[in-house]
Structures are given as C-alpha cells and as structure tokens.
C-alpha cells in the first residue's frame, strides 16, 4: 500500500497522524528450500511486495492494531500478551514480536497501528515474516526514547523465535533475514547456522523473475512442515553413530550419507538425501550467479523442484502442474516450487521477451488442469525493510 494511503487510513481510524510508516517485503526463495531449519544455505531475494505499518506511540502500555485487509481490530496490553484464536490469529505475529522484544530487555512502548500489505497470504511468499519484521521495526522506532540496539541478524533471529515459540510454526530464519537484509538486484546468500551472509549481485540481463500463485492455501501450523523437521532430526541422530560432532544435515556430505543411509527408513532416507543435495545445489548456484551463468542456475532450480517433489514430498499436483507448464516453454530456463510447499507459489526464470507468452500459457492451461484461476506476479528484486517518517508520505 502506498505510504500516503496507509497514512490516510491511520488518520481516519485513530483521528491523528502516524509518527512513522514501516515497509517490510515478502520474498521469493530462488533455491535452498527446507534447508534453513537444517542449519544449511539459502538464496532468497526480497520482492517489491510489502507489509506496511503506520504507527504512533501511546502514553500507556496498550497496543491497538487495525488490520485493513481483514477490517479487524485487536487490542492487548504489553503486560499481558496472550495468543489469539480464530479470526484475529493474524495478531499473533506482532504479539509474538512484542513478547520477545520485551524478553530481550527492549523497552518498547504501547502503540496504535494500521497494518496492510500486498504480499499474498499463505502463498509461500512469507507474509508472516514481513509482518513480524514490520512490527519489530515499528515497536523499536515509534517511541522517542526507544533504543534500537539489535543488528539485522539479531532482529531476524528474534522474529524467528516469535514465529517458532509464540505462533507455533517451526520455520527457519531465512524469511525474516531476507525481509530485513535484502538489497535491490541482489540475492542473499545466507548461512542459516552462523547467520553470516553475502549479497550476491543478481544480473538478470534479458531475464525476469515470474512468480505464479497456485491459489492453493496451506496452513503451516497444521501441515506436514513440522514432521519434515522431525524426520531430518531423526536422520542426524542416526548419523551421529559415525559422526559424533555433527549437529545438522549440513555437516554431512552426500558421499558419507550414502555409506550409512541403510539404517534409516526409506522415508527418512529420502528427506535427508534431499536436504544434503539441496545444500550442494545452493553453493553451486551462488558460483553460477558470480560467473553470470544463468543457464546453470536454471538447471539447478529444476533439479531442486524434482527433489522437493520426489524426495521431500512437499509439492502437490497444482504446484507440479504449474512447473510442468513452465518447463514446456523453451524460454523458461528454471522453474520450481518456492516456500514450504503443499500449495503456494512457483518461481520461474524466463526470458524477458517471453514473459507474456508464459503468463498466457499458465492462465490458459493451469485452470484446465486444476480448475483454479492462478495469480501471476512479475517481480522486481527490491530492498529489505525500511522506515519513513509520515511527514514524507
């Protein structure tokens, strides 16, 4: 939402001017799926779709949040933060952030806020991380005496804890990190164990990133997501018999895994193999970007989807249909599901002069195969979260 519009909505709802407006982007992960909670490597980009929060501090400990997109208001005290159920479950993201900021001894104030965004919900583009990051920056910056003492990696880790422990989704840190640390025309190569990162130039030249939404909704809290995490941990426990120092699958090479995989069930073996191979694909993908070789990068994207479909088993018929339609287009050099899976989006690397052909093909063939009308976004690679004074809106 444009700054001027959300500022007007704040004035209308609260009868006063906002002090600041925070924008935090969604993301699309180019490669490195389900590796983040295995201490592995990821390569996302921030996209030019944002969750925006207009906020003003209060003189008390109350927090009043109005979600424009749901036309709902939630109010709570910073001294008594409890999870919400049902229609206002969206408020658990800013509530969780407020809870963990206070546990980190950040003196946050009460505030009034209007929240809106154009990051599609439950699509795999990480609207949840965007609202967490925007909420954190609003709490930390809205008060005149509020010290901002956390760097980007620390704040990303805090937002991750909010989602893990307050919302109840065992996500990794990738989504929060890219929302905070993204840079226009760069991918973020992130080591999810150390939180070391490198912004890798993304020279798309004659190519575009096209994100296609299957419109299949999934709810991570009740999905297979947490099961996959447990299966990976089971694999690590098994492998410690031979490699006592390992703490995650990222510590195991594919050749070593193959030596000792027979003691695992077929299902756990497939899960672990995918994660180990995906980490290797991310490293190769970074090398390909640095060499300007988008063709190799596209091949790695395709291999990633096959692994997610066959070994990690987090794809679905709608995602597979959308990827197969893209693969049939000679000008698409890479296509894969992105996000947690079981629905959500695909990401496609396509020649710029063939974008319209791809869009037309998906809009025609995907409904024929699934009975669902897709949404398609041609994305620019944007900056991470930023703050602006309402006076500049």
Radius of gyration, alpha carbons of the chain: 21
Both structure tokens of 156: 């990303």
Of residues 156, 190, 234, the one with CA closest to residue 40 = 190
- What SS3 class is residue 207? strand
Q: Which helix (H) or strand (E) holds 213?
A: strand 207-213
CA pair distance 253, 176, nearest whole angstrom: 28
In order of 113, 322, 340, the CA distances from 345 in angstroms are 29, 9, 9
Of residues 134, 140, 151, the one with CA closest to residue 108 = 140
Catalytic residue among 36, 39, 175, 311: 175
Both structure tokens of 226: 């947490």
CA pair distance 331, 325, nearest whole angstrom: 12
DSSP codes, 63-95? EEEEETTTTEEEEEETTB-----GGGGGGHHHH
- What SS3 class is residue 63? strand
CA pair distance 341, 309, nearest whole angstrom: 9
Question: Is the CB of residue 93 less than 8 Å from the CB of residue 132?
Answer: yes
Q: Which residues contact 377 (CB under 8 A, 6 or more apart)?
A: 47, 49, 210, 211, 212, 213
Q: Which residues pair with 209 in a beta bridge?
A: 349, 379
**Does residue 80 have an active-site annotation?**
no
Q: Which residues contact 155 (CB under 8 A, 6 or more apart)?
A: 133, 136, 176, 180
Active site residues: 175
């Amino acid at each position: 939402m444009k700054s001027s519009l959300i500022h007007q909505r704040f004035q209308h709802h609260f009868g006063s001017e906002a002090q600041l407006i925070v924008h935090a982007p969604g993301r699309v992960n180019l490669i490195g799926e389900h590796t983040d909670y295995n201490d592995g490597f990821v390569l996302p980009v921030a996209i030019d779709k944002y969750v925006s929060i207009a906020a003003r501090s209060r003189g008390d400990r109350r927090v009043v949040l109005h979600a424009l997109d749901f036309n709902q208001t939630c109010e709570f005290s910073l001294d008594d933060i409890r999870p919400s159920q049902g229609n206002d479950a969206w408020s658990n993201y800013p509530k969780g952030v407020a809870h963990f900021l206070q546990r980190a001894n950040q003196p946050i104030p009460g505030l009034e806020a209007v929240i809106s965004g154009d990051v599609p919900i439950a699509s795999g583009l990480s609207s949840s991380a965007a609202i967490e990051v925007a909420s954190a920056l609003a709490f930390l910056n809205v008060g005149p005496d509020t010290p901002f003492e956390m760097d980007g990696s620390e704040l990303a880790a805090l937002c991750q804890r909010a989602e893990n422990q307050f919302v109840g989704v065992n996500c990794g840190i990738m989504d929060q990190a890219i929302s905070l640390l993204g840079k226009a025309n760069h991918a973020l190569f992130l080591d999810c164990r150390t939180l070391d990162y490198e912004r890798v130039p993304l020279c798309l030249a004659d190519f575009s990133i096209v994100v296609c939404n299957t419109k299949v909704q999934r709810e991570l809290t009740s999905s297979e997501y947490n099961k996959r995490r447990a299966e990976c941990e089971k694999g690590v426990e098994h492998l410690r018999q031979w490699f006592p120092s390992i703490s995650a699958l990222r510590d195991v090479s594919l050749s070593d895994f193959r030596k000792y995989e027979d003691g695992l069930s077929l299902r756990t073996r497939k899960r672990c193999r995918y994660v180990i191979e995906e980490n290797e694909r991310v490293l190769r993908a970074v090398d390909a970007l640095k060499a300007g070789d988008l063709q190799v990068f596209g091949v790695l994207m395709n291999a990633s989807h096959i692994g997610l479909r066959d070994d990690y088993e987090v794809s679905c018929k709608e995602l597979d249909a959308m990827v197969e339609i893209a693969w049939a287009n000679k000008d698409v050099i890479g296509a894969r599901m992105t996000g947690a899976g079981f629905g959500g989006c695909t990401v496609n690397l396509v020649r710029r002069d063939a974008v319209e052909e791809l869009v037309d093909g998906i809009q025609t063939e995907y409904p024929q195969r699934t009975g669902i009308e897709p949404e398609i976004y041609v994305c620019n690679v944007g900056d991470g979260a930023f703050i602006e004074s309402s006076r500049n809106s």
